Amino acid sequence: MHKSRLVKLFLLLFSALFLFFVNPFVFGQESNSSSGTELQLSAKEDKEEAADVNELDVEDDADDADEEEESPEVVFEQVLSFEKYAPAFKVKLRKESQLESYPCMDCHEDEETNLEIRELEEEHDELILEHGGERFWCLTCHQPDNRDYLHSLKNNAIDFDQSYRLCGQCHFQRQKDWFFGAHGKRVGNWLGERKLYLCTECHDPHSPSIKPIKPNPPPKVRKGLVFVPNGTHLKAKVWEKHLLEQTENKND
């Protein structure tokens, strides 16, 4: 009798312990936490999609833009995509100071809007468009009805000082990097107020690729010593070696 009771007690204890320890695995605590994050992520993506759908028109009076100097900072309500999550920043304004022809409407008010896709001959003919290949022409980006603005794919007006909204339509990965600091130039301080250059400060929108320039001079050797060039000790690439062997074998 004693023995069997003991055995029963032992089995009970053992199964209790077993359940206690196995429990988390059975009920998936760890997977709970991971699915928790997954839920969080998808919530974020939902918000982003919602933001895209709810994109509002930018008004003409786009002086709710972040400015570098004069106007007091205004909280920017209408945002696109990732901008809502990016660390706050200000951009260096360009249209007043750097765009020579701005305001464009000074001329274009009196001009007819010609929507025909063509090469420009009378004005702006010095501009060579090297952006987008055969797919772009002027009015792809410039607002036909109001030349003081650019426009998005949905024909919302985009201010020149917020040109990143235009570029970011195609170059969204770059734009995200730019928002978070992995791309582009920050000026001024590394600490405190974040001031960035707009895309067009470095990239000419009509010919955006960075042109090669002459580098600064190479380092010198210590005074009193003579520089002896290293010569090329580049190892042959694997395929070069292979091709060389092949041609040698052919020649044999």
Q: What is the DSSP string of 109-158?
A: TSS----------SSSTT----SSGGG--HHHHB-SS-TTEEE-TT--EE
Alpha-carbon span 94 to 161, nearest angstrom: 6
At closest approach, how far in Å is the CB of 87 from other proteins?
5
User: Is 12 among the residues that bind other proteins (CB under 8 A)?
Assistant: no
**Binding-residue pattern over the window 76 to 95 for other proteins, x denoting contact by CB under 8 A:** -----------x--------
User: Is 216 among the residues that bind other proteins (CB under 8 A)?
Assistant: yes
Total residues in contact with other proteins, by rule CB under 8 A: 42
* Given 118, 135, 218, 249, the residue binding other proteins (CB under 8 A): 218
* Given 37, 113, 209, 230, the residue binding other proteins (CB under 8 A): 230
Alpha-carbon span 33 to 147, nearest angstrom: 52
* Given 1, 115, 153, 221, the residue binding other proteins (CB under 8 A): 221
* Given 53, 126, 234, 251, the residue binding other proteins (CB under 8 A): 234
Q: By the 8 A CB rule, do 195 and 187 touch?
A: yes
User: Is 37 among the residues that bind other proteins (CB under 8 A)?
Assistant: no
Q: By the 8 A CB rule, do 82 and 175 touch?
A: yes
Please say which residue, 156 or 175, places its beta carbon nearer to other proteins. Answer: 175
Please say which residue, 72 or 217, places its beta carbon nearer to other proteins. Answer: 217
At closest approach, how far in Å is the CB of 86 from other proteins?
9
Strand partners, 149: 159
At closest approach, how far in Å is the CB of 197 from other proteins?
7
User: Is 2 among the residues that bind other proteins (CB under 8 A)?
Assistant: no
- Helix 29-53 to helix 2-27 angle (10° resolution) is 20
Alpha-carbon span 107 to 124, nearest angstrom: 12
Give residues with Cβ within 8 angstroms of 177, minimum separation 6. Answer: 183, 184
* Given 197, 205, 206, 208, the residue binding other proteins (CB under 8 A): 197
What is the chain's length?
A: 252
At closest approach, how far in Å is the CB of 230 from other proteins?
6
**Binding-residue pattern over the window 149 to 188 for other proteins, x denoting contact by CB under 8 A:** -------------------------x--x--xxxxxxxxx
Alpha-carbon span 249 to 70, nearest angstrom: 74
User: Is 229 among the residues that bind other proteins (CB under 8 A)?
Assistant: yes
Upper half-sphere CA count for residue 84 (Cβ side, 13 Å): 14
* Opening angle at CA 72, ends 71 and 77, nearest 5: 105
Please say which residue, 128 or 221, places its beta carbon nearer to other proteins. Answer: 221
Kindly list the residues in this chain that would bind other proteins in the complex (CB under 8 A).
87, 174, 177, 180-192, 197, 202, 210, 212-225, 227-231, 233-235, 237
